[in-house]
Amino acid sequence: MRWRIDLRYDGTAFHGWARQTGLRTVQGTLEEAIRVVLRLPEPVTVTCAGRTDTGVHARGQVTHVDVEAAVDPLRLLRGLNGVLPEDVAVTAVTAAPEGFDARFSALARRYVYRLCDDPAGWDPLTRGHVLRVGRPMDVERMNTAAAALLGEHDFAAFCKKREGASTVRALLEFSWQRTGTGQLEGTVIADAFCHSMVRALVGSMLPVGDGRRDVAWPGAVLAEKVRDSAVSVLPAHGLTLEEVRYPADDELAARALQARQVRGEVHQRG
């Protein structure tokens, strides 16, 4: 039976999501916890909606796992949280609807990148989740530049391209807002992301926000379809996967089939 497991984690001490021999990863940690709680002879494979990179956090990660053993969802949730380390927490365990695939059934992923541009607003207690920048940002300029990137485009200029993988994505929202003194949040929503895309998109906004680049510059970079060394891939710790959106239950299988056909086996990473 397929189970949906929702979780959140602090990515600081993890080498990303994907299981790697000899390294501490979220996938490896969760798979071992499931093995222990269900008393399985071998770990089972967990599939996630968004393969976060090293140091990236998640508040709304969604996964699925197929197990043959009998499962009481409440006991599994409690059991997992009893054996998982303190930087990972399971928030829900539910029987997956027919056709559900945590990765391919997803309609969109929502990431938020957090910045602080004013020493008066810097909070040392959140330093592991916020990037401190040395110049004040103009949110209006950043929103103007971000709006020009919306829609379906080839985002090769903002991705680490993989052989044979498409870099065409639909950017559904890219917006900035102030949430307090010196505090900025950049919300990025797309149907999927390629490797380092979110942090590169946000990186292209900083020189616009502080006036070093014109508001048209990120759009010009996008049109070139090649990586530009002037675009910084920002540090991972400011980025959090906040939400994964899915269609209605009766549309899950069709969405998964469509996503596989369009993208193939591509990374959904920030």
Q: How far is CA 249 from the centre of its chain?
A: 23
- Known binding-site residue numbers: 111
* 127 and 88 within one domain: no
* 168 and 81 within one domain: no
Q: Which of 95, 121, 145 is the last residue of a domain?
A: 95
Look at residue 69 in the predicted model and tell me its pLDDT. 84
Look at residue 261 in the predicted model and tell me its pLDDT. 81
* 207 and 118 within one domain: yes
Sort strands 108-116 and 168-180 into parallel, antiparallel or unpaired: unpaired
Look at residue 24 in the predicted model and tell me its pLDDT. 98
- Residue 5 identity: I
The tens digit of pLDDT for each residue in 98-126 reads: 999 999 999 999 999 999 999 999 999 99
Main-chain phi, psi angles of 113, to 5 degrees: -110, 130
| Burial category of 199 from C-beta neighbours within 10 Å (exposed 0-12, middle 13-18, buried 19 and up) | buried
* 91 and 64 within one domain: yes
* 160 falls within a domain: yes
Give yes or no for residue 140 having a pLDDT over 90.
Answer: yes
* 230 and 135 within one domain: yes
Q: Which of 95, 127, 155 is the last residue of a domain?
A: 95
CA dihedral 120, 124, 129, 134 (to 10 degrees): 40
Please calculate the CA angle 5-53-148 and round it to the nearest 5 degrees: 100
* 65 and 15 within one domain: yes
Look at residue 264 in the predicted model and tell me its pLDDT. 54
Are 114 and 180 in contact by the 8 Å Cβ rule? The answer is no
Q: Which domain holds residue 28?
A: 2-95
* 170 and 44 within one domain: no
* 67 falls within a domain: yes
* 214 falls within a domain: yes
Give the H or E element holding residue 31. Answer: helix 26-38
Of 53, 101, 117, 191, which residue is the catalytic one? 53
Look at residue 263 in the predicted model and tell me its pLDDT. 60
Is 118 part of the annotated catalytic residue set? no
CA distances to 27, 200, 268 from 90, rounded to whole Å, are 13, 29, 21
Q: How far is CA 246 from the centre of its chain?
A: 15
- Known binding-site residue numbers for substrate: 111
**In whole angstroms, what is the distance from residue 36 CA to residue 90 CA?**
15
* 91 and 122 within one domain: no
* 241 and 112 within one domain: yes
Using only C-alpha atoms, what is the Rg of the chain?
A: 19
CATH of the domain at 191: 3.30.70.660
Look at residue 243 in the predicted model and tell me its pLDDT. 98
**What is the full DSSP assignment across 194-229?**
-TTHHHHHHHHHHHHHTTSS-TTHHHHHHHHTS--T
* 233 and 112 within one domain: yes
Are 192 and 205 in contact by the 8 Å Cβ rule? The answer is no
* 46 and 20 within one domain: yes
* 205 and 154 within one domain: yes
Domain count, the chain: 2
If one counts every other C-beta atom within 10 angstroms of the C-beta of residue 145, the result is: 23
CA dihedral 153, 154, 157, 158 (to 10 degrees): 70
Which of residues 26 and 263 earns the better pLDDT score? 26
Are 120 and 248 in contact by the 8 Å Cβ rule? The answer is no
Q: How far is CA 214 from the centre of its chain?
A: 28
pTM for the model: 0.94
Are 67 and 1 in contact by the 8 Å Cβ rule? The answer is yes
CATH of the domain at 24: 3.30.70.580
The tens digit of pLDDT for each residue in 192-233 reads: 999 899 999 999 999 999 999 999 999 999 999 998 888 999
